[in-house]
Structure 1
Amino acid sequence: MPDGPVRVTGPLLAVLNALLVANDHELHGWAIMKTTGKSGPTIYKILERLAEARWVTSRWEEDAAPGKPRRRYYQLTGHGVASARQLVAQRQTKAATTTRTRLAFGRGQA
C-alpha cells in the first residue's frame, strides 16, 4: 500500500479524528465505534487499512475482566499522527472551499 490509505472516506476521517483526539492514548474498537457512530465491520476494516499503511499499531489487552473477551487497543504511530493531521486538514480546507463556492453562486445556505 502507498504511504497511506488509498480511499479517503467520511468514516476513515471519523476514525482518524477519534484517534487524534485520543492524544497518545490507546482506544479499543468499541470506543472508536461509540465515538464515530459507525458499525463494527466498518471500523475494523478501516483499522486494518490503517495498520497496513503503518498509521496505527495495536495490541491485545493482557488481563481481561473475568467472563469478558480481551480488547484490542489501537494507537496512531508517529508517522500516522503527522499524516492524519495533514489529511484531515486538507479535507477540511477542501470542504470549506466547496461551501464558500456554493454560497458565492447562490447554491447553499449561510
Structure 2
Amino acid sequence: MNATIHDNRTTVYWHRELPPLEAELVAEHIVEATSSRVSGRLAHRDELWDQCYRELMANAERRLVQEVARLGGHFAHVHDEVIHPKHDDAAGEAWLHGRFSYMLYRRPQESR
C-alpha cells in the first residue's frame, strides 16, 4: 500500500513508510474493515481473493482517514495488519476481514 493523500497531505502511512519526523505520537489504535461478500469461497480463487483484498484495503484506508479526523490527529502509521477470510456456508458467501493496528500522530504546532 502507498501513503494515503487527503487534501493534498498524506494521512495514512503503511508499514515502512514513516510520518514526518516532527510528528508527535498520540496513541496506538485499531480499526477493522471488511470487503463485500462474494459468492463461493475464496480458497484457490485468486481473482476473487484479489478483488476482495483490494476492496478491503480501500475500506481500511477510508476508515483510517475517518478515525484520524475523529480522534483529532493528522497522521496514522499502520504497523500491523491481520487479514482473515470469512465465509457464511448458509448463504454461500465469502469475504475478507482485516484488523489494522496503527499509531496516531499530530503535527507539533497543533498539539498543544
Task: Give TM-score scaled by structure 1 length.
Answer: 0.31
Greater relative contact order (Cα 8 A, min sep 6): structure 1 or 2? 2
Greater strand fraction, Structure 1 or Structure 2: 2
Which structure carries more helix by proportion?
1
